[in-house]
Amino acid sequence: MQGMLQPHTFKDKTIIITGGGTGLGKSMGKYLLELGANLVITSRKMDVLEKSAAELSDATGGKVLPVACDIRKYEEIENVLRQTEATFGAVHGVLNNAAGNFISPTERLSHRAFDIVVDIVLKGTYYMTLAAGKHWIAKKQPGVFLNIVTTYAWTGSGYVVPSACGKAGVLALTRSLAVEWAKFNIRSNAIAPGPFPTEGAWSRLLPGDLVKKFDPTERVPLKRVGDHQELANLAAYLLSDFSAYINGEVITIDGGEWLRSGGEFSHLEAIPSSMWDMLEKSRGK
Ligand code: HXC
Ligand code: NAP
């Protein structure tokens, strides 16, 4: 649960984090600041961003620029890039972390409900990516993208279908541009986190009593949720030059959760030792 990189890993580097004022974005940002980065945090709510920026720079002594930006609006993203350059001189990395999500049977969704999630997750991510990519290519500058997806980006998942569609698109974006933009020295990678408690995710995905009924730790072979520092360590590594040869990769950090649900016999965990003893004795009879 401790930081793993050298303290000056991000000295003179500037990283933009979408959705950087709350939850996992804020935690990853804090660690990047501890490693010497300048940080730009963006989301729609300026009051939340300003409060988090003050908190983060007080805690780390690092520089944080909050910029309001709805990632569904391309001009607002261009403004983030302009402000970042004006304040810090250059952008070195983009952490596409912002998302929207809620649970619902799909047949109950209106087309507007579908749109709202896909627009944040997929359109927001490709807008940010396109704007930053054009910026780096025009300036002949290297860059790195890190996209936060989910483990259901490749399996799909009922009850969060707009999110699954959006995240699958982000996964395709990650892998496609890893190849196409490598010639510009722009890398693209992704992280697929399992359950990491945040107010944003828990309030929307496990509302009310659901958190007691569907304890996420039960689904994880390691029988615990993730610690934010564990994710921050991985994110910092993938944004840093230490991972310079990793491109187009998606790293899962979920304690084994998604593989367990795919394993055809994983449910045999429910068999007690006494029954295994009986089965062993009756073997071959
Ligand atoms: C069905 C819903 C709904 C729900 C809204 N809608 N909530 N439909 N079930 N729970 C419908 C509305 O009826 C409306 O359609 C349309 O969606 C837009 O509604 P709004 O009121 O404008 O939406 P609002 O609730 O204000 O915003 C939704 C949101 C918001 C944009 C997704 O919750 C948000 O800002 N989220 C950002 C943060 C977030 O979601 N964090 C969690 C990420 S967690 P009609 O037809 O009525 O107009 C995550 C983790 C994944 O991604 C993996 C975990 C392991
Ligand atoms: P969160 O705190 O709710 O983070 C979502 C962030 O996105 C918020 O800061 C929100 O800020 C921002 N955002 C939403 N719509 C936006 C828009 N249109 N423009 C700009 N910013 C917008 O939830 P979280 O759990 O930390 O999630 C962070 C990321 O991790 C997401 O990509 C999520 O899918 C992923 N993830 C989380 C978990 C988990 O267990 N927590 C698991 C797997 C994947 P505003 O409301 O101010 O705009």
Q: What is the pLDDT of residues 112-129, one digit of tens each?
A: 999 999 999 999 999 999
Q: Binning pLDDT at 50, 70 and 90, where does residue 30 land? A: very high
Three-state SS sequence of 12-26: CCEEEEECCCCHHHH
Sheet order of strands, 14-18 included: 64-68, 38-43, 14-18, 93-96, 143-148, 186-193, 250-253
Residues 6+ apart with CB under 8 A from 281: none
- Decide: 162 in ligand 2 pocket, CB within 6 A: no
Name the domain count of the chain. Answer: 1
In a domain, 61, yes or no: yes
Predicted confidence at residue 81, as pLDDT, reads: 98
Q: How far apart are CA 127 and CA 150, in angstroms?
A: 19
In a domain, 263, yes or no: yes
Question: Helix (H, G, I), strand (E, B), or coil: what is residue 198?
Answer: coil
Beta bridge partner(s), residue 147: 96, 190
Give the Å distance between the CA of 206 and the centre of ligand 2: 15
In a domain, 151, yes or no: yes
In a domain, 9, yes or no: no
In a domain, 1, yes or no: no
Torsion-angle region of 4 (φ positive above 0: left; ψ -120 to 50: alpha; else: beta) = alpha
In a domain, 8, yes or no: no
Which atom in ligand 2 lies closest to the alpha carbon of residue 98? 7
Q: Any idea what the CATH number is for the domain that residue 237 is in?
A: 3.40.50.720
pTM (predicted TM-score): 0.97
In a domain, 136, yes or no: yes
In a domain, 3, yes or no: no
The pLDDT tens digits of the residues spanning 123-182 come to 999 999 999 999 999 999 999 999 999 999 999 999 999 999 999 999 999 999 999 999
Domain extent for 83: 14-283
Give the Å distance between the CA of 196 and the centre of ligand 1: 19
Q: How far apart are CA 81 and CA 104, in angstroms?
A: 35
